[in-house]
Amino acid sequence: MGDDESKSSKMVELDVSASNQEQGVVISGSSPQRDKNDIALVEWQRIQQLMQNSIPLCKGHGEPCVSRLAKKPGPNHGRRFYVCARAEGPASNPETNCGYFKWAASKSRHR
């Protein structure tokens, strides 16, 4: 069994060194593709930050709300709004939905 153990430990060492070499190839140097990836990452972070800033916090818990879409027929059909993200429950339980509601800012709609 001693031979098997030494063979497997050598294989593990080889696997680790091979993966380190592969990572070195990917990580080292600056390339146009890497620059594009960095720019894309920064842009996605900016978009994510804008989205975080535009989601209101519910007044009862101070937590981010969830976005919903009005589905009832009428003048608000298709309009987005925000509500408390917590599940509904008895009003006596402070851990349940606080009832917060807010219409999302709407752009001018063509009718």
The pTM assigned to this predicted structure is 0.51
Which pair of structure tokens corresponds to residue 88? Answer: 């509904």
Domain boundaries, the chain: 56-110
The rounded average pLDDT for each run of 10 residues, N- to C-terminus, in the chain (111 residues) is 49 45 52 89 87 84 94 96 95 92 73 45
Whole-number pLDDT of residue 7: 47
Whole-number pLDDT of residue 29: 62
Whole-number pLDDT of residue 9: 44
Nearest to 102 by CA among 82, 78, 76: 82
Contacts of 80 (CB under 8 A, 6+ apart): 67, 68, 69, 70, 103, 104, 106
Whole-number pLDDT of residue 31: 83
Whole-number pLDDT of residue 48: 83
